[in-house]
Amino acid sequence: MSHTYNPLRTQFLPISQEDLAERGWDSLDFVFISGDAYVDHPSFAAAVIGRVLEAEGYRVGIIAQPDWTNPQSYLALGVPRLAFLVGAGNMDSMVAHYTANRRKRSEDAYSPGGKAGYRPDRATLKYVEGIRSVCKGVPVIIGGIEASLRRLVHYDYWTDKVRRSILLDSKADLLVYGMGEKPITEIARRLAAGEPIHTITDVRGTCVFNYGEPLLDPHCTVRLPDFETVARPDETGKRAYAWHFMLQKEHADPISGKILIEKTDTRWVIQNPPPLPPTTEELDHIYELPYTRQSHPVYQQAGGIPALTEVAFSLVSSRGCYGSCSFCAITFHQGRVVRGRSQKSLLREAALLRELPEFKGYIHDVGGPTANFFRPPCPKQAKGGACTTKECLSPEACSTLRADHREYLEVLRKLRALPGIKKVFIRSGIRFDYLLLDHNFGEAFLEELCAYHVSGQLKVAPEHVSDTVLNIMGKSGNRVYEQFRKKFEAINRKLGLKQYLIPYFIASHPGSGLNEAIELAEYLKKTGFIPDQVQDFYPTPGTLSTAMYYTGLDPRTMGPITVSRGERERKLQRALLQFDKPENWPLVREALIQAGREDLIGNRPNCLIPGTASSAHQKPEAPHKKSEPRSGGGNRPELKHKSRRTPSS
């Protein structure tokens, strides 16, 4: 069985001709071209897909971060027998390279030593172009976050334009979207049986293209607005884009979703329905494959791969998320149907961690996109998929939702009891609104969370305090967060612990103008918590919020919505969230005057900044001292596709 292997004796997948010679292989079935460095851990896409195919009997090699300026680098492992697999990495390459304000990043956590520059912009396009230039006739299959979220017409923030499907732009043969283990296994089987790539058109979780309108059953097919219409920069185009997005969202469920077709020039992109969610047994199998759980030794001299640090001793307990935050693309990638692993599998993996020499007794996380979503929220989702016309938690919790932390709590208790385990942390995020809905086990879970699974600070994501903005974000109202905050403080007082909530907030999200940003600043002033760093809204492919940003419409209602587009207003909103910094006072003053809120300028307790230049060295009087410390929350690129902890193919 897969769980009997020893990670200290397992081999890395081959990355060189020397590795092939050591195995006695003269060729490979698949070569995976990856935009990330090769980390053989179940939180990294290339490792997961490689190990899944290996378990099916295929020979797989990895070319990690090839030199895209030298096309011969794609042939380092020879020509694969069945196909090249191409993935830009665990993050969209543009998100990996640029901040929300389009500034170049100097670091890349998925590259050797954390240094930037090891992959190109739009890595999927560049890699396929390079492969095609040196190797004709071999199938090329693209996948991963970058391809998955760009699989159909999409708004591209970095060029401020609507782009075609990445399948057409890349000239690949096939696109795998979502979590790719099931699709790639079926494709491999059919390729190995001699079926040509151009006839593999019906696999769930894939997109293909066709010259001429496809002949499909109209009862099972939905036609999306054409690219030429959606790409128009006028009101007609914006409304078509919003409608296009809602049709995708409506058909993102594997049970009820239909085939989507989209016309671009003379070609048609065909999106097959999503793959069926993995069973618990299938998840157990995937995460217990023989990973070395380390970065490849070739990166040791460069300092290793920083992205491994956070997840090296973490356990992926579930997939999918029914939280449906507007700014998150997880529902378009992993889906809303939640599936969790078995307790036995998680305990086996935890026991395996103890064999690693670097393990010090601390499990860093037990979770997924949302840690306390461990099983489906209602019988309908368990049997028939997610609802297409309503959300589970917003604007109010669905009447059929059954919040239950019992099984997740049992897992945590059993993990804590394992010999050699000193501490089990939870870092992948808690939905506090869901927790409060559990009237049977929620209180016990929160108490044990505070007692055993938090180390001084618990990071949570209320995101805003304006109920108008929260509704647009798909989040519960601010009163829910306040209720949770009070419970958290009460339980820590009961336990005699001094622990703090570290809330994340987003500036300049659609729906948030200066008035809403000021409302948030006033809340921060009142509570005494001011973040060290602020997350600016980042319009990335595959999110409802990005559709709002581009169109100026709420696609759910087609009504107009406030959008902060200019860099100046984004700066003003960001400065308001850090109003206590003297270097921000000119921007804060400009924002307050512009909004007609001069009442917040002065030295009174409610004021945000000093009133005159002569008092600029003095901060306004604080209303009262609060116990929360300043946060080091940081910029969160993972907000756009919370799949950092979970692999994508």
Annotated binding site for [4Fe-4S] cluster: 321, 325, 328
User: What is d(CA 427, CA 454) in angstroms, rounded to the nearest whole number?
Assistant: 9
Token match 């490849």: residue?
Answer: 296
Of the candidates 352, 344, 183, the one whose C-alpha atom is nearest the C-alpha of residue 278 is 183
Instruction: For residue 439, count CB atoms less than 10 angstroms from its CB and return exposed for 0-12, middle for 13-18, buried for 19 or more.
Output: exposed
| Residue of 202, 200, 203, 226 whose CA lies nearest to 213 | 226
CB of 187 closer than 8 Å to CB of 52: no
Q: Distance (Å, rounded) from C-alpha 444 to C-alpha 440?
A: 8
CA separation for the pair 332, 335 (Å, rounded): 6
Nearest alpha carbon to residue 322 among 338, 333, 310, 307: 338
How many angstroms separate the CA atoms of 127 and 68, rounded? 7
The candidate with the shortest Cα–Cα distance to 60, out of 120, 2, 113, 12, is 12
Annotated binding site: 321, 325, 328
Say if CB 17 and CB 77 are below 8 A apart. Answer: yes
Question: Do 525 and 579 contact (CB within 8 A), yes or no?
Answer: yes
Task: Tell me the torsion sign for CA atoms 114, 10, 371, 278.
Answer: positive
The three-class DSSP label of residue 115 is: strand
- Point out which residues pair with 526 in neighbouring strands: none
Q: How far apart are CA 55 and CA 66, in angstroms?
A: 25
Q: Is the bond leading into 586 cis (omega within 30 degrees of zero)?
A: no
- What does residue 519 show for φ and ψ, rounded to 5 degrees? -60, -40
How far is C-alpha 471 from the chain's CA centre?
A: 21
- Scanning the structure block, which residue is given the tokens 């946060």? 631
